[in-house]
Every structure is written in structure tokens, then in C-alpha cells.
Amino acid sequence: MSKIRQWFHFFKANLAKGYKRFPMTIGFAVAFVVVAIYFSHASEKAPYIDKVMMALAIGVPLSGVMKMLEEQFAFHKWLDVAVAVFFVAVYGYLIPLNPDDVFMRQYTALSAALYGMFFIVPYLKRSESFSQYLFYNISKFFLTLLYALILFAGSSAVYFTVNVLFELQLPEVIYMDLMMISFGIFGPMHFLGNLPRREQRELPYAMLFERLFTWIVLPLLMIYTVILHAYFVKMLLTQTFPEGMIGNLVVWYGLISVVTLFFLNESRSEQQWLAKVTKYYPIGMIAPLGMLFVAAWMRIDLYGLTLSRYLLVVAGLFEVIAVLLIFLRRERANVPLGIIAVLMTLLAFMGPISGDSLARRLQNERLKIKIEVLDALDTNGDVNVKNLDAASQNEISLTATYLADAYGVDSIYFAAEDETAEALEERTGIELKTYRYRVPDKEMYFSHYNEPLMSLVALDGADYLLKVTSYDPLNLELKDIGVSLNKNETQDSIDLIFKSSDGTIAEHLDLLTWMQLMVQTENFEDERVIVLGDSSYEIKWILYNVNGYQSTDEAHKADGFTPEAVDKASEDYRVTIEYFEGYLRMTKKD
């Protein structure tokens, strides 16, 4: 019992220390969890909820950085609160309702930079023991994750037991609430409660990490370095350029090498062999990094700059800077290296020299040169590739496709404002072979999913119950009622073809049109009767899973149905079915 009491007081003290030292940071974390829990229980999601949660999430590392700055430079204790709240409010207002991929990359980079600065700020004045400080906090971070996981598992087990034993039928969403409380409130409070203060310089190494880098990672990197140098010698002898995945292989090798040297920088003085290896290891990285830049230059020269190639070059530049710093400054390189990593992260994703900005601008310049060289302008000076040969059209199409896929159709320099992909293709003849799934003119998405119907459907004396999906073929011989059934898919219809046993009489049932009607009328179980020869069959279509979208179009009527059904389906929008699953129940009528 005394052990349990000790553990309880231990966690209580840590949580109290975390809140006392970082009240604003804990406040942002609690606010994030409360908002997330509230809207997970709400009947519908407010359009601004993502903005609020993203702003609160960015407030967690920002408030932590401001608190660390206050401790380092002893400015007024309320100044950090004012700056953090003001920034979060302004930034939250600037977050778009529907952020695109570019903004999300910027948001992620900003978050990563703030978390990085949170650990760097305590060592701005003195750089000694910085890697020990990070080692210590990494070990505490994983320990905190373990404690939070145990708390979540235990509280979930209690909730499950009470729910089952007393047959309360409590909602399952509570498990998600318990997880957010465990990892979103308990986790930060416990971790921050263990965070060393600035006066705590001498911290014990996390032996697991030190041994991992010293005896496993570093020897493997040395073997990898030998392999890369052997490849470099092969290139010199054969007079070839680096090919294939050499760029990606080297950049990851370089990053892992930098991290390893970073963490071993302050412990190498304790072991003579380690001091010699880490001193000369950066020299062995020169040839591999040279191959990285040659490979990147070749790809950019052939195909232009993209975000992935830009990040490859930025990572290579960081590795070169890191190697020089570690070689020249040794133990004093760690803090400047951390600051450089933060700055390069921000510059790589934000501002005029970011990867997205440069890729968009340079690919447009490349596209413009191609269009002028290939003479793809009509008499009015507008882009038109319809009279070019297939190879020239494809060359222009690939560059335009990259821009449309990565940044939207409006990123292409000759695209009209709010022009859709289809309109641009029709106007210019350029085929946009987009790989990402997007339909610009979608207006209303729908999704119907009825889980019980997946496993529980009433037969009601039916002869057959057939599962029909958007991807499965259907070719059946229903001998008991003398009918064969085939599924025939085209772009505009999904025909169910019914034939009698002799194959001479057939009837087509347009399943796609039927589903469009069901979506519009919100009736996902419907029946109709077909006649084959002298027999009648009752067909019931049970649609338990369907999704797609509705877009403005000319009136789209469901031909072949009753006048009442046609009137219901005659709306000013068109229904497009993207995916479906359902049951077809067939009964022969007497």
C-alpha cells in the first residue's frame, strides 16, 4: 500500500510542477482537448472548429517557448502570456477554413520549429551539455508516453467493465475521450513537470541512447560509408554519373550521420577511440554528399524543380553545414546546429524561397519556355496544343499536370481565374493527367452507411439474396427460377441483364440510375417488378453503403421509373456514384 501511495504522490507532484511552471502551456493543451471532446459529441461539426483546434495546438509549443525565454532573459512574466495569446488569436484568424496542402506543410513546419526552439532556448547562453539535455528529455518523453498509455488502458478497462457488468450501454466515443485526456492533458503535465530547469546543467545520460548510437548506429554508418565510397570509385572508373536512388540514399545517410555526431559530440572525450572516429568521420562524408548534389542537379536539369527535389537539396546543404560546424567547433557546434535546423525548416516551407514558391515559379517558367519553343500559341497568342504532335503535347502536359496536381489548376500561368481542369483542357487541348483525386466542381458530398444491413437482411421468403458492389463482377446462373444474371458496366450505366433459361428473353435494369434516384429521395431500400416470359420477379435493391457527390447540372431524370419517381428525381443537380455496396433480393412471384 505504501508503494501505491508513493507512486500517487510522485505523479501528483510532477503534475503540480508541470502546471505551476507552464500554466499557459497546460491551458492551451486542456483547451484543445476540451474543444475536441465537445465536438466529438456534437451532432454536427461547426465549420470553424478546425481553425480553433489548429490555433490551440500551435499555442502549446509557442507558450512553452515564451516561458523558456522568460526564464532565460528574466523579462516581465506577463509578457510571454500576452505575446502567446496575441499570436494564437491572429494566427487562428488567418487559418483558412479549408487549408490546402501548402498551408498544412507551412503549419507543420511552424509547429516543428517551435518545438525545436522550446528545447534550444535554455541553452542560448551556454552550449555545454545540450545533447545530454536532449538525451534526458527524449528518455522522459518515451517514459511519459508509457505512463499515458497505461493510464488510458486502465481507465478504458474500468469503463468497459462497468459498461458490461451493469449493462449500461454507454457510448463508445468515451474511449476516444479517455485517450485525449491521457495523452493530451496528463502527458504534457507529466513531461513538463520533469523538464530540467536552466540551472540543472549536469544531467545523466540516457544510457540506452548513448549505447545505441555508440555501439550500433555508428559502426553501421561506417560500413555504409565504405559502401558509398566503393560506389564512388566505380563511378570514376566507369566514368558514369550517379543514377537511381543514390540521392535519397545519401540524404538519409547524411541526416542519420549528423544526428549521431550531434549526440556523441559531448561524450567522445570520455573514450579515445570515439574521439578519433568522430573527428575524422565528417571527412568521409565529402564524397557521398558530392554524389547527392550531382544527382539532384541532373534531375532538376532534366525535369525541373519540384518540392521533393528542393527538400533533397536543402537537406544536403544542412548536412554540409553540420559537417563543417562539427568538424571546426566540435562540442560547441550543437546549439548553433539546432538553430540552423530551425531556420532552414522555416525557410524551406515559408516565404519567397520556400520549396513550394520556387517550384511553382520555376515550373511555370519551364512551361512557358516549352510552349514558346514548340510554337504552341495560336494566332491570338493563346495557348493551344491541338495541332502539335503527340510527343510535344505530352511534354507540355507533364509540366502542366505537375502544377495542377500540386498547386491547383489556377497555379498554371495561362489558366483563367477559377477555371476548371475540364475547361482548361477543352480550351488549350492540354491533357491534365492528374494523379491526385480531385473534382473541382463538386458541391455536395454524400455518404450513406448502414452497418447492421451488412450482416442482417430479412429474406422474407426470397429465392436469392445477391451481394452487388461497385468492383465485383456478377455472372450467375439461378437454376431454381430459370434466370441468368450478368452485370455490365459502362461509363453511364450499370446494367443488370436478366435472361431466361433459353437465353432468348432479356430485360435490362439500370442499377446506376436506380441508385441515383435512391440518393436523391433518401430511400435506400426500393422494390420493382420485372417480367421474363410468363413469369414475374420481384426485385428489391437494398443499398447499405454508397458515397459520391452531387453537382449542379441540367435536370437529370431517372428514365424507366414511375412518373412519381421521375418528378422526385428531376432536380437541378446531378448525382455521381463513386462507390457502392448493396444486396439484390430476388423472388419469383406466383
Please report the DSSP string for 19-76 in residue order.
HHH-HHHHHHHHHHHHHHHHHHHSSS--TTHHHHHHHHHHHHHHHHHHHHHHHHH---
Task: Give alpha helix (H) positions in 354-447.
Answer: 355-373, 390-407, 421-428
The pLDDT assigned to 312 comes to 92
Three-state SS for 259? helix
What are the backbone angles phi and psi of residue 442, rounded to the nearest 5°? Answer: -65, 140
And the C-alpha cell for 228?
A: 558509398
Three-state SS for 488? strand
- pLDDT digit string (tens) for the chain, length 590 residues: 566 666 666 667 777 888 888 999 999 999 999 998 888 787 666 778 889 999 999 999 999 999 998 888 877 777 878 888 999 999 999 999 888 899 999 999 999 999 999 999 988 887 777 888 888 888 889 989 999 999 999 999 999 998 888 877 778 888 999 999 999 999 999 999 888 875 555 566 556 777 788 888 888 999 999 998 898 888 888 877 776 577 888 888 999 998 888 888 766 556 677 777 877 888 888 889 988 898 888 889 888 999 999 999 999 999 999 988 888 877 678 899 999 999 999 999 999 999 999 999 999 999 999 998 888 888 788 888 888 888 888 889 889 989 988 898 889 999 888 888 888 888 888 888 764 444 444 456 777 777 666 667 777 778 888 888 887 777 777 877 777 877 777 767 787 888 876 666 667 788 888 888 888 888 888 888 888 777 788 888 888 888 887 765 443 433 443 333 333 334 446 788 888 888 888 888 86
Name residue, grid cell 512557358. 368
What are the backbone angles phi and psi of residue 119, rounded to the nearest 5°? Answer: -90, -20
- Buried-exposed string 22-36: b where 16+ CB fall within 10 A, e elsewhere: bebbbbbbbbbbeeb
DSSP per-residue codes, 149-206: HHHHHHHHHHHHHHHHHTT----THHHHHHHHHIIIIIHHHHHHHTPPPTT-------
Work out the angle between the directed axes of helices 173-181 and 23-41 (0-180°, nearest 10): 170
Contact 131, 278 (CB under 8 A): no
Q: Which helix (H) or strand (E) holds 475?
A: strand 475-478
Three-state SS for 538? strand
Query: For residue 167, how far is the Cα from the chain centroid?
Result: 39
Task: Give alpha helix (H) positions in 374-450.
Answer: 390-407, 421-428
Query: For residue 59, how far is the Cα from the chain centroid?
Result: 21
- Buried-exposed string 400-415: b where 16+ CB fall within 10 A, e elsewhere: bbbbbbbbbbbbbbbb
Neighbour tally for 258: CB within 10 Å: 23
End-to-end Cα separation, the chain, in angstroms:
77
Neighbour tally for 182: CB within 10 Å: 21
Query: CA-to-CA distance for 458 and 581, rounded, in angstroms?
Result: 17
Query: CA-to-CA distance for 239 and 588, rounded, in angstroms?
Result: 77
The pLDDT assigned to 527 comes to 87
Query: CA-to-CA distance for 180 and 192, rounded, in angstroms?
Result: 17
The pLDDT assigned to 454 comes to 64
